[in-house]
Amino acid sequence: MKNETMINEQSNYQLVLCTCPNEASAMNIAENLVAQRLAACVNVLPSLYSVYHWQDNVESAQESMIFIKTSQKQYASLEKVITSLHPYEVPEIISVNIDNGLPEYLKWLGNSIN
């Protein structure tokens, strides 16, 4: 039963991925999410290269990526903040459930956003 409870608690957490046009935009979103306690932590990967379809064209751009640690409970509010701050018409916001992790880290994550 303890293991089942731990799995249920862990699956309440999410890793949200979001690309941004530059590091400044990524940092602005990251700082807002953490300040509003919608994210326990946001990692900013300052430079990556994306190739994608947009309006029937193959496009490419240098971007920044943010890795956001949050909970399912906070996701809707987090998404609203990202879309309000993000300069893209359709920002990439993808959420992945965290099914496993160091229990102490997940406890810290939960305490940081609740």
pLDDT value at position 7? 46
Of the candidates 14, 30, 21, 28, the residue with the CA atom closest to the CA atom of residue 91: 21
> How much is the average pLDDT of 42-48?
96
What confidence tens digit (pLDDT) does each residue in 7-27 have?
445 569 999 999 999 999 999
pLDDT value at position 55? 92
What confidence tens digit (pLDDT) does each residue in 65-92 have?
999 999 999 999 999 999 999 999 999 9
Domain boundaries in the chain? 11-113
> How much is the average pLDDT of 45-63?
95
Residue range 11-113, CATH number: 3.30.70.120
Of the candidates 51, 67, 63, 69, the residue with the CA atom closest to the CA atom of residue 17: 67
